[in-house]
Amino acid sequence: MGGFVHEVQLAPSRVAACVPRIPFKLGQPKKQIVPKTVERDFEREYGKLQQLEDQTKKLQKDMKKSTDADVAMSKSAVKISSDLLSNPLCEQDPKFLEMVMALDTAMKRMDSFNQEKVNQIQKTVIEPLKKFSSVFPSLNMAVKKREQTLQDYKRLQSKVEKYEEKEKTGPVLAKLHQAREELRPVKEDFEAKNKQLLEEMPKFYSSRIDYFKPSFESLIRAQVVYYTEMHKIFGDLTEQIAEPGLTDEQREKENEAKLSELRALSIVADD
Amino acid sequence: MASSGSDEPPATETETEIPGAECSIYEEVIWLDKTEQNQRLAVEELIKTEASYVHTIQLCVSDIRAHLQQKQLPDLDLEGLFSNIDDVLHISRRFLKRLEATVSHTEQLNQISALFQEFKEKMESVYKVYCASYEQALLLVESYRKDPRLQQEILDTLNTMVPHTGASDLSFFLVMPVQRVTKYALLLQKILENTSPSDGAYPALQSATNAMLEVSANINEYKRRKEVAFKYNKAEQLTLRERLARLNTHSIAKKTTRLSRLFMHEAGIVPKTQDKEYDDLEEKFQCLASGVTMLKENMGSYLNNLAVFLISKPHECELEIEEGAVQQYRCLAGNLHLTIFPEFRRRLNRVVYQPLCSLTDALKGPQQLIKKRLDKLLDYEEIQERKSETGSVTYDEEAAMNTYLAINALLMSELPRFNQVALQLLGQILNSLVALQRELAKKVLEETTRELAQLPHSHLPLPTFWKMVEDTLRQSGTQLHAFCQKFETVMPSPLVQSLSPAEERRVLSLVSKHSPDKLYQVISNISGSKDLDLTLQRGQIVALLHGMDTKGNTNRWLVDAGGPRGYVPAGKLQPYHLDQSQKPRMQTLAPDDRAERRRHSYTFPEAPRPPVPIVTPASQVVAGFSFAARSPQEVSLQAGQPVAVLEPHDKKGSKDWSLVEVNGQRGYVPSSYLVMVPPWEPLGWSLPAWSPPTQQT
């Protein structure tokens, strides 16, 4: 009178309260259902995709941070010139006013170009990245389902094997038949899933190359556009108000000269 | 011996004027001789004293100071003691040489005057520095005197190097330049006294004397201003304790007076001392100060943002793409981050930010002085009032008034220069900023253009390029969507018996009308013979309406076939189990609530699906214990047998008994003997694996 009850693996609350559970040991099937090479291939392909998922996430995050910092820089550059413009010094000194106004115009123009650049990057880099990343959840779910099916497959397989080992009595044969019937759809299901994933995963992985090409091209192009403008705008400005040819040492010397003049005055405290 | 060659012989004049007054002539001559002699003596004194002065200073520098220097005493502040005595020595030596050259000259007095005029500016600038730091030097000497070890060292040096002077103190030597510079005027005055106003050299001498007097006055003024500036141009860093300790009735009274005066100013009760010139200066200064401070702050935040920008490195992501635009980008961004931008930051610091910081520091002194001036002005006005009332002021009050005047004078004289130079520096800094921006753009452009040249579409004009990118991305998006769909779709599992879509729909509608445990599948073809009998195909699904016909025959059941209703033989039906995963063919995976959390993402399917009726999970029911039937209504169970629950209660409605079918037989068994086993999610339709023997009971 060997009774058996399917071991309730994951939801023990499902068992009717008044019935004691009769434990049943589930072993692993003796036969290796999935050949090692197939499993290895699967792990390898999936591993590559997991890596890719991490990296695309990281790239997305870093790209966002980078563009945010870029915008912040541009805004603070505008603040430099607009604060100077609102200082009364500009009213008192026309030459100073001229310089500050030119600087302010330049900074504001640069800021609007920067905004354009950032918008392009958003459209051609960050959005596509997001789209690419959105495939991964579906992939991971599919892999997980395959895994679950595999577990079921293994379990049913071991059950069949168990019956196969037993003495061939009537009830045993019945149960064996039943177990085999249960096993068949699950096995086919697993094999279908496995095949599908093994086919699609590499395709997806290699699609990244072509997918990202336009994004990176546009990233570079956008920079070229921006810096071309910047070079022109500040080139004109330098001709207008600055002394373009000086080296850093010369500038430093000039500054030091003025500072020394200031420090020579008695009203300036020397520490 | 110099002779006043330009002197007209006076004897002839007096002779013609007073003939016969031979005594007066002699007296004249004697007088004249005496003054001439005194004059000559005075000139000699000038030269001789200068020589000895230079000699002593030389000793000071080359002997005393050098000796002390050799001793390498760390506590001895040689620079504070001796200040710019090298410059003093240098100028005095040159002066002496030129003085000595005038000796055998005919126009000596004129030469000397000219010499003073030539040297006065240089002397002023050298001596004023020395004199201004002389007070400090004296304080140092005083403090060293208190230190026995240092004092001993100093004395030792003095005794070694200059024993003949008998000096016991450094101040003996240090005071000499201070004395000398004022002595020039006195010496010149002495020569002037002994020169007749009609002498040709007189005007030159007079202007030389005046010049040297002016030099002394300027040196004094400079000294006073420096003292005032030094006293007030630093904000005192006092602790609260020290501030409290300073409070006494006097200081409180002083501050109260100032405050009340300030109120009176603001209220218009008392007229403010208007000084438009000063106010303009101050206003300009304040504008400058606020501009500089603001610029420094803004530059600071710009540099911070630059630093943050350099931290995030999107180009360091590893997408395992060996070549193409990705590598170009990595190369470009790498260069920008490693080389170009850090250099830009360094240069900004050097020629923009650092000077700004220094300029900001330089602002502090004048700001302090301006504050102090206002305080002192309030005192001054107060005292002025009292003076006009009482007619006199105390010594302290006089000093306070002078302090105000000194600060005011100092600011008036130096602020214009400060404002001008500071503004120039500000301009220079802004120029540098602009130039650096241009150079940054140039460098980046070189890099990007180089990378761009290697890209396939670099030749495309911009709008075409963007359009191309947009189109490509749209296509890629569609492709991605396709991938997504693929992964979300589960290959429909091969079914033992698959149902057509029409059949599935019928099944669903049956389930929604009746409960899932009333479903049965036709095992073999049924051809109905009587009326109300249904003709059904094998595999069709029906729902049980009533377990017997109108005559009470339990083998003839009334069923709903999803449209027609009728009777079918019960033996040709077997219970049909629905699983919770029964869904239309294109199955979307439901989230598994038993999932172990993996670090990767999962989605809940968001696409709208055909509404699926909520199917209560039909669990597998198994006999938990063996049971022997004791009556014809009951049926025997063997432990472990799967059973089909037809009704979970008996005819009276009691839940203790369930009507089950097992082994082809139907009957009642105790409900407690039944075990519910949750299905382990096989996909597709699950059927009882065994077919019951077709026995009719």
Instruction: Quote the minimal CA–CA distance from A31 to chain B in Å.
Output: 21
B148-186 residue pLDDT tens: 888 888 888 888 887 787 777 888 888 899 999 889 989
A179-192: string of b/e by CB count within 10 Å (b at 16+)? Answer: bebbbbbbbbbbbb
What's the CA gap between B314 and A55, in Å, rounded?
10
Task: Give the residue, A267 or B127, on which the prediction is more confident.
Answer: B127
DSSP E strands: which ranges in A129-264? none
Find the distance separating the first CA and the last CA of chain B, reported in whole Å.
167
What's the CA gap between A4 and A25, in Å, rounded?
10
Task: Give the residue, B331 or B582, on which the prediction is more confident.
Answer: B331
Contact criterion met (CB below 8 Å) for B666 and B646: yes
Residue partners of B647: CB distance under 8 A and separation at least 6: B658, B659
Instruction: Quote the minimal CA–CA distance from B244 to chain A in Å.
Output: 26
Contact criterion met (CB below 8 Å) for A242 and B342: no
What's the distance, CA B454 to chain centroid?
39
- How many C-beta neighbours within 10 Å does residue B211 have? 20
Instruction: Quote the minimal CA–CA distance from A72 to chain B in Å.
Output: 6
Instruction: Quote the minimal CA–CA distance from B532 to chain A in Å.
Output: 36
B243: enclosing H helix or E strand: helix B240-246
pLDDT band at B616 (very low <50, low <70, confident <90, very high): very low
What's the distance, CA A155 to chain centroid?
37
Q: What is the CATH number of domain B248-454?
A: 1.20.1270.60
Average pLDDT for chain B: 79
Boundaries of every domain in chain B:
22-233, 248-454, 501-575, 620-676
The C-alpha angle with vertex A151 and arms to A149 and A154, in degrees rounded to 5, equals: 110
Find the distance separating the first CA and the last CA of chain A, reported in whole Å.
102
pLDDT band at A74 (very low <50, low <70, confident <90, very high): very high
B647: enclosing H helix or E strand: strand B642-647
Q: In what order do the strands lie in the sheet with B519-522?
A: B565-569, B556-560, B541-546, B519-522, B573-575
Q: What percent of chain B lies above the pLDDT cut of 70? A: 83
Task: Give the residue, B639 or B201, on which the prediction is more confident.
Answer: B201
This prediction has a pTM of 0.62
- How many C-beta neighbours within 10 Å does residue A34 have? 14
Strands B657-662 and B642-647: antiparallel
Task: Give the residue, B494 or A234, on which the prediction is more confident.
Answer: A234
Tell me how far apart the 2 most distant CA atoms of chain B are, in Å.
Answer: 192
Task: Residue A67: name the closest of A128, A115, A131 by CA.
Answer: A115
Chain A residue numbers with beta carbons less than 8 Å from the beta carbon of B448 are: 220, 223-224, 227
> Quick one: pLDDT at residue B237?
66
**Is the pLDDT score of B580 beyond 50?**
no
**Long-range contacts of the stretch A208-211 (C-beta < 8 A, 24+):** A208/A52, A208/A132, A208/B319, A208/B321, A209/B321, A209/B324, A210/B476, A211/A128, A211/A132, A211/B476, A211/B479, A211/B480
Its CATH architecture, for the domain B22-233, is Up-down Bundle (1.20)
Contact criterion met (CB below 8 Å) for A211 and A128: yes
Average pLDDT, stretch B381-405?
A: 83
- How many C-beta neighbours within 10 Å does residue B473 have? 20
Torsional sign, CA B294, B295, B296, B298: positive
Phi, psi of B573 (to 5 degrees): -115, 150
Chain B residue numbers with beta carbons less than 8 Å from the beta carbon of A65 are: 311-312, 314
Which of B15-24, B81-90, B208-217, B462-471 is least confident? B15-24
Q: Which amino acid is at B568?
A: V
ipTM of the complex in this document = 0.81
Task: Give the residue, B359 or B396, on which the prediction is more confident.
Answer: B359
What's the CA gap between B645 and B17, in Å, rounded?
167
Alpha-carbon Rg for chain B, nearest whole angstrom, is 58
Interchain contact, B314 vs A62, CB within 8 Å:
yes
Pick the CATH number of B501-575 from 2.40.170.20, 1.10.260.40, 2.30.30.40, 3.40.718.10: 2.30.30.40
When CB atoms are compared, the residue of B309, B455, B678 closest to A11 is: B678
Contact criterion met (CB below 8 Å) for B126 and B88: yes
Interface test with B, best of A138, A169, A191, A246 (most B CBs within 10 A): A138
Domains B22-233 and B620-676 share a fold: no
pLDDT band at B623 (very low <50, low <70, confident <90, very high): confident
B355-379 residue pLDDT tens: 999 999 999 989 988 998 888 888 8
Contact criterion met (CB below 8 Å) for B84 and B123: no
B520-547 residue pLDDT tens: 877 777 887 777 888 887 777 888 888 8
Number of H helices, E strands in chain A: 7, 0
Domain B620-676 has CATH 2.30.30.40: yes
B524–A contact, CB cutoff 8 A? no
A120-178 residue pLDDT tens: 999 999 999 999 999 999 899 889 888 888 888 888 888 888 888 888 788 888 888 88
